Amino acid sequence: MPEAMPEAQCVQIYLNGMPRQVARGTSVAAALLLHAVPCRESVKGTPRAALCGMGICFECRAVINGVAHRRTCQINCLDEMRVETQR
């Protein structure tokens, strides 16, 4: 679906190194869910994704532009943003 969007309404980000387009205004947590990429691996190594969607649970934390532990549900995607699953 994002492919059909006019360019101005899209941003390009990198999810674990892969270029991906999402609609402008999409939160990083929503982008990770859209592309079925887990936010983090838990202490015991299981994949986790967003839970509360409102900044409380920290399940959505990932590495954004090299900074770990960012709450991806409280951050919107920006052009050229690099997002990595937190291990």
Partner 1 sequence: MSAANDITHADVLVVGAGPAGLAAATAAARHGCDVHVLDDNLAPGGQIWRASSVAANTQSTQPMSSREKAIAALHASGATLHCATRVFAAPANNVVDVLEQDEHGLRYTYRTLIVATGARELMLPFPGWTLPGVLGAGGLQALVRAGYSVAGKRVAVVGTGPLLIAVAAHLQEAGARVVLLAEQAGLRTMLPLAASMLLRFTKLRQGLHYAARLRGTPVRMGWWPVEAIADRGVLAGVRITNGSETRTIDCDLVATGFHLVPNSELAELLGCALAATPVGRRVLVDTYQRTTRADVFCVGEPTGIAGLDAALLQGEIAGLTAAGQPSTHLHARAAAERAFGKMLDRTFRLRKALRTLAAEDTILCRCEDASFAQVKACAGWTEAKLQTRCGMGPCQGRICGPATRVVFGWEPASVRPPLVPVPLHALISSTSHHEENL
- Residue appearing with tokens 């980000």: 13
Q: Does residue 58 touch ligand FES according to CB under 6 A?
A: yes
Q: Does residue 30 touch ligand FES according to CB under 6 A?
A: no
Binding partner of residue 9 among partner 1, ligand FES, none, CB cut-off 5 to 8 Å per kind: partner 1
Closest alpha carbon to 31 in 16, 41, 42: 16
Q: Does residue 10 touch ligand FES according to CB under 6 A?
A: no
What does the DSSP 8-state code read for residue 70?
E
Count of C-beta atoms within a 10 Å radius of residue 83? 26
Q: Does residue 68 touch ligand FES according to CB under 6 A?
A: no
Q: State the Cα torsion 67-14-21-41 to the nearest 10°.
A: -70
Size, binding site for partner 1 by CB under 8 A:
41
Residues that bind ligand FES (CB under 6 A): 29, 50-53, 55-60, 71, 73
